[in-house]
Chains A and B, each alone.
Chain A
Amino acid sequence: MTRLFLLLSALVALLAPLAPAHAQPLRLQITEGVIEPMPFAMPAFVPENSAGAQYSDALARVVAANLTNTGLFREVPRDAHIARVSSFDASVSFSDWRAINVQALITGAVEVSGNRMTVKFRLFDVLSGQQMGQGMQFAGSTDSWRRMAHKVSDAVYSRITGEEGYFDSRVVFVSESGPRGNRTKRLAIMDQDGENVQMLTDGRALVIAPRVAPGGERAVYTTYETGAPRIALMNLATGQRQLVGDIPGAMTFSPRFSPDGQSLVFSAARGGNTDLFRLNLGSGQMQQLTSSSSIATSPSFSPDGRNITFESDRSGTSQIYVMPATGGEARRISFGQGRYGTPVWSPRGDLIAFTKSHAGRFHIGVMRTDGSEERLLTASFLDEGPTWAPNGRVIMFTREAQGGDPALYSVDISGRNLRRVPTPGPASDPAWGPLLP
């Protein structure tokens, strides 16, 4: 029986390539490819005047580091380069790049006058010998030279992968110092690659779990400056902050913006019960969304603003639920083993990232918004609090090794390319902001 089946299927398989004969083109079907980093070359930017020379190397290094950090690209180091790019407009000798297996070539130029700089780049598909898209130019102040390198990186990434980039974005997080039993925690902000760290609070009050507004101009977080958890809203540009969402007799925490930035959803705990509330930031109007005698926390809006996913222990253990953004019936979506928490809706709307703990380990995972296709991306002593890159392809989270300090890590949504995000000291609770305009 098996033989017969084998025979028949073999026949079918063999017929396929034989059937088209004569003048017909040979038709093949390829369903198996590879997934591997694409080799690229990023020679130093060509300095178009002498003042630009000091940036020519640094710009190229930031771009190369960004691309490499995605795990999708691999830099062919400069000392392997055969061709020298000495002029931005000179024709490219593709054979020299092909010879060292480069597939994508980025060339750039930089010109500086005073504190103004102009950065240009071109992207080439080395194999086909064609330019990918037109050249692009950015102009700005020399202070923002890193941002211009990030802009170049975003454009390159986007042209090759078809995804929006995420390099020109910032991350708000909690910078930690001091003894564990009495940590000093300060709100801080940095570029996505860990550069340009700036403290936002002075550390006198404990702060936890910041979130960035959709526009990136504000952050909301939980502060203990009154002694108990309260929600603070901060203007990231000016550092001004105000407490919002006061509910008498309640601790309020775990805030998150709605997609339009106009309202917050947060937890309020009082009388041994934690429920979700929604606050309109403009009118100050407040609405209670849940009222069960259990914990409901870590709410997160769907990008269309219609639903809220949150964590609740109403079933006995922490699980993930989805309910309408106006409140109402909540549907449990997590049914795997262990406990689930901190659900965060992807900016694309297709996935929910979460923390899972099971059998003494913690995981960051993703699942579809109906709870199907759960996929665990990490495993460690303590992983928690995922936050999405603006393009929904990368997740950053807090990892604490056993007995170690917390640190920030990022991982691709396929589970590849796990890496530590450099921070000056112990860090936790990252909140990824949007792509800057």
Chain B
Amino acid sequence: MDTGQKVSGLAHIGLIVWVMVFDLFQAPDAVPRVPVSDVSLISAEEFAALSSPGAPVPAPPAPDPEPAPEPEIAAPEPVRPDPEPAAPAPDPEPAPAPEPEPVQPAPAPEPEPQPEPEAPAPEAPSTGGIFSPAPTPGASSRPRPRPVDRVAPTPSEAPPDSAQIDLAAQPPAQPEEPAEEAPVVEPEQAETAPPEATTEIVTEATETDDAPTERAAAAPNISQRPRTRPERPTPPPATETATETATETPAEAPRETVQAREPDPEPATPPSDAIEQALADALADTLAQEFGSGSTPSASAALSSSEADALRLAIQQCWNVGVLSTDAQQVTVTVGFSMPPAARHEQGSIRIVAASGGTETAIQQAFDAARRAIIRCEGDGYGLPPEKYDAWRDIEITFNPEGMRLR
């Protein structure tokens, strides 16, 4: 097992534990938000009456306050849960130099969000506190994600200064994409890079884990060049599985050695081309049997799964659930739209097909976010194969934020 696998495995476990323990937005909000009325005029008298008592007199127009300085996020703050039971051991006034004990919380098996077929065994698992329902986040010794503004399914490094941050142009290679077509590996092409992202929200408590030196070492001083990405119409090659699933893969992680041996985060991904081929054959058979000749889609009409995946990935990259209310994050909305052959959405065609799980307002917020995703990432077109236009003329996408609520 090489370093890349270990790092990836540990990061996955960390993510899973995180997801299990901190699905903060899971439960429905008891009180639905009242929508803000569209028009509201307050008279001068009313406003004055409301604001006058005790309102300190400002000196208008005072210069705007500087935005609050970023708190010392960079300062590493070592904290590890130690395995002492929470039994009565009153110690409110701890020793001056508490020695953190490196202990990992017991990694619980959790199928979501990405099962790992060959997860490396966690090192020195401990049961931790006897009844600690929630171990300190990020208590494992895996590399810690940096606090970055963006949380995305696939982490990306900080782009080099010269690279333009461009979400629309290049969907990132995804490990779960089966390659059905000849992999096209192109050396460094356009300098586009996705914005820096982590796979989970990094709280201060998360990152208090590593010793300063460790962290310093793990943080790449110079960000890697963005990895090569295939042209959009071409699905990412199967060998391109080195996509960093580790949350803070140090720059020195040898990409070349990861390749196909990287444990795939999704069981759906065949480990090799041979199996891929076998699958394709088996699939054809199954299709023929299950659907009968009459309903078997003609190859030319249907999008391949990788083509559909490419579209899905392109849109999900732009689906920003961060600004959604906790109510709207409960809403699963299906959005329909049409595309002309240029593979950009047709003006005015984006509509709600179905929605569940929220108030009207929450559904509207959820729809707004979905619509932004569709429009924002289309760029010059989604690059779908023109010969299969019938298959993607009309599209319905179900946006289900369940997985994102957990982050």
Contacts and interface: CB of A to CB of B under 8 A. Distances in A.
Contacts of B55: 143-144, 147, 196
A6 B390 contact: no
B324 A162 contact: yes
A15 B392 CA distance: 17
A57 B41 CA distance: 23
A35 B315 contact: no
Contacts of B86: 317, 335-338
B267 A6 contact: yes
Nearest to B114: A32
A328 interface: no
B54 A140 contact: no
B90 interface: yes
Interface stretch (A222-230, A256-264, A276-284, A376-384): A376-384
B42 A198 contact: no
Contacts of B50: 436-437
Nearest to B57: A143
Q: Give the residue among A125, A373, A409 with the most B Cβ atoms within 10 A.
A: A373
B325 A368 contact: no
A18 B390 CA distance: 13
A254 interface: no
A128 B337 CA distance: 13
Contacts of B260: none
Interface stretch (B73-81, B238-246, B250-258): B73-81
B324 A376 contact: no
Nearest to A2: B117
B400 interface: yes
Contacts of B318: 34
A14 B322 CA distance: 30
Interface size bracket, A side = 35 or more
Interface in A1-27: 2-3, 5-7, 9-19, 21-27
Given A17-B305, A161-B365, A418-B204, A11 B323 contact: no
A373 B376 contact: no
A61 interface: yes
Nearest to A236: B54
A32 B61 contact: no
B403 A32 contact: yes
A145 interface: yes
Given A6-B275, A28-B396, A162-B327, A133 B68 contact: no
Contact of A316 (B79, B90, B311, B336): B90
Contacts of A16: 305
Contact of B43 (A10, A74, A139, A371): A139
B134 A127 contact: no
Given A31-B403, A144-B47, A36 B94 contact: no
Given A30-B397, A36-B149, A141-B47, A162 B92 contact: no
A33 B313 CA distance: 9
Given A13-B268, A337-B81, A26 B150 contact: no
Counting from the closest, the 3 A-B pairs by CB-CB distance are A415-B203, A316-B88, A360-B98
Given A144-B51, A418-B204, 12 more contacts: A13-B268, A34-B151, A34-B153, A37-B322, A133-B36, A139-B42, A359-B101, A360-B97, A360-B98, A361-B98, A413-B24, A422-B66
8 contacts: A9-B267, A25-B336, A29-B397, A162-B33, A317-B91, A335-B86, A409-B71, A414-B407
Interface of A: 2-3, 5-7, 9-19, 21-38, 54-55, 57-58, 61-62, 65, 68-69, 71-74, 103, 116, 118, 125, 127-128, 132-148, 155, 158-164, 189, 193-198, 236-238, 313, 315-318, 335-339, 348-350, 357-361, 363, 365-368, 371-380, 393, 399, 401, 409, 411, 413-416, 418-422, 436-437
